Amino acid sequence: MPRITPRTLKGFRDYLPQAMLPREALIATARDVYRSYGFSPIDTPALEYLEILSGNGSDETDKQLYHFTDNGGREVGMRFDLTVPLARFAAQHAQELGLPFKRYHIATVWRGENTQRGRYREFMQCDFDTIGTESAASDIETALVIHDLLQKIGFERFTIRVNHRGVLNGLLENLGLADQALPLLRALDKLAKIGPEKVAAEMERTAGATSQQTAQVLELAALTGSRDEVLAALRPMVAGSETGEAGAERLSEVLGGIRAAGVPEERVELDVSIARGLDYYTGMIYETFLGDLPGIGSVASGGRYDNLTEAFTSQRLPGIGASLGLDRLLAAMEELEMLPNARTPAEVFVPLFNKEMLGPLLKITTDLRAAGLRVELYGDAKKLGKQLQYANRRGHRIAMIVGPDELAADDCQLKNLADGSSKKVALADAAREITLLLEGGDD
């Protein structure tokens, strides 16, 4: 019989249990943090009318869009982010939602772009957004959510870099370069990566800026120091520009709020060079870098946009939001050895001695589950050594050994698979004892 080669498409992946367990854990953390701020879950279809998706983005996103004609002759596209669907969703349901509206959306998106490490054609986004308000509070909250998220995931050393588009635009305005903002900011965003000389060269080449102008832009971007120092230094540079002054003012407010919330000073940095490639950000911008792995890039980023829904409705809906870089974070955690090596969600393993033990063990494991534990009962009465070997490889943490002897004595042996230690406890106390063991050796 001719066989079909099992394979996956370029840029698409299978997830084995070992990869899926931390993935789900991360998603659960994100969901919990979002909910703790009152963001509500929504979902939208994977497929949209092509015009919904392609009208919005740039030529670039159009090229990356997966699209086809469906069996009813409709032109259809697969969503390439969660922001455009949010815009459509908000425009369509504005009346029922009420404003401001805070939602989170964790879902798969597709982009037909070239693959690279950490870049796939199918990947998951974990977005949260607040729409219908321009308040500084929502700007501040966005940073707080990112901060909480990273902390809950288990990172100690990370920096949220913030900036305001108005500051950059204000400076460009003052330099008479406002109409070339896009190519200039795109070049500026590469500062950390390629250095000031190359950025200047690119600015002169793509935006027609003079070397004097680029020097001034780079001077702003080169500002370093504490937030207050940077803020004080940039104010005169944007003076006279309405957007620039407003941007600096908002920046100051947001940084003050973040400080008031108790976020450690070193976790948030004012970095005037970040621009974020997207052309729709109009206000605050956020990027997040890991102290132990800065090279992996931003693991959570976002910003404020003025008019999310303008393609769909005349109603003005400003918004702010950010997105967690799930794949990058997982890659980072793997590299930093923050991921457990388990291939099973069940912490407790119960070997089967012989067929006669099956009935009693089914009862015992059912009781353990009722007590909130995750328990796997082995199905074949193989040699005990084999069963323990299996348990060890799978990553179960505790083996609960109940053989005929234990059953007769109404007790059991709890074996810690990490260190080999074991103790005898009464069956009636097993659930409690296991819980204690799990809390104790938590690594």
With CA atoms as reference, report the closest residue to 284 among 298, 270, 304: 304
Among 157, 369, 386, 423, binds RNA (CB under 7 A): 386
DSSP class of 114: P
Pairing of strands 422-426, 281-290: unpaired
Among 118, 257, 345, 360, binds RNA (CB under 7 A): 118
417 binds RNA (CB under 7 A): yes
The CB-of-57 to RNA minimum distance in angstroms stands at 9
Among 165, 186, 267, 304, binds RNA (CB under 7 A): 186
Q: Is 25 helix (H, G, I), strand (E, B) or coil?
A: helix
The CB-of-82 to RNA minimum distance in angstroms stands at 10
Nearer to RNA, 150 or 231 (CB): 150
The CB-of-200 to RNA minimum distance in angstroms stands at 14
Q: Which of residues 80-99 bind RNA (CB under 7 A)?
A: 81
Give one word for 253, left, alpha or beta, with left for phi > 0 and alpha for psi -120 to 50.
Answer: alpha
Tokens standing for residue 185: 């900011």
435 binds RNA (CB under 7 A): no
Q: Is 2 helix (H, G, I), strand (E, B) or coil?
A: coil
Pairing of strands 40-41, 47-49: unpaired
60 binds RNA (CB under 7 A): yes
Residue 154, number of CB atoms within 10 A of its CB: 11
Among 35, 93, 119, 316, binds RNA (CB under 7 A): 119
422 binds RNA (CB under 7 A): yes
Report the distance separating Cα 248 and Cα 258, nearest Å.
Answer: 15
Which residues is 47 bridged to in the sheet?
78
Q: Which of residues 304-323 bind RNA (CB under 7 A)?
A: 323
Task: Burial-class residue 18 by CB neighbours within 10 Å (0-12, 13-18, 19+).
Answer: middle
Q: How many residues bind RNA (CB under 7 A)?
A: 60
Distance of alpha carbon 342 from the chain centroid: 22
The CB-of-351 to RNA minimum distance in angstroms stands at 9
Among 1, 6, 7, 262, binds RNA (CB under 7 A): 7
DSSP class of 416: E
Strand order in the sheet with 398-401: 375-377, 348-350, 398-401, 411-416, 422-426
The CB-of-410 to RNA minimum distance in angstroms stands at 13
355 binds RNA (CB under 7 A): no
Among 334, 405, 410, 429, binds RNA (CB under 7 A): 405
What residue ranges bind RNA (CB under 7 A)? 5, 7, 9-11, 60, 81, 111, 113-121, 123, 125, 186, 190, 193-194, 202, 276-279, 297-301, 323, 325, 327-328, 353, 383-386, 388-389, 392-393, 399, 401, 403-406, 413, 415-420, 422
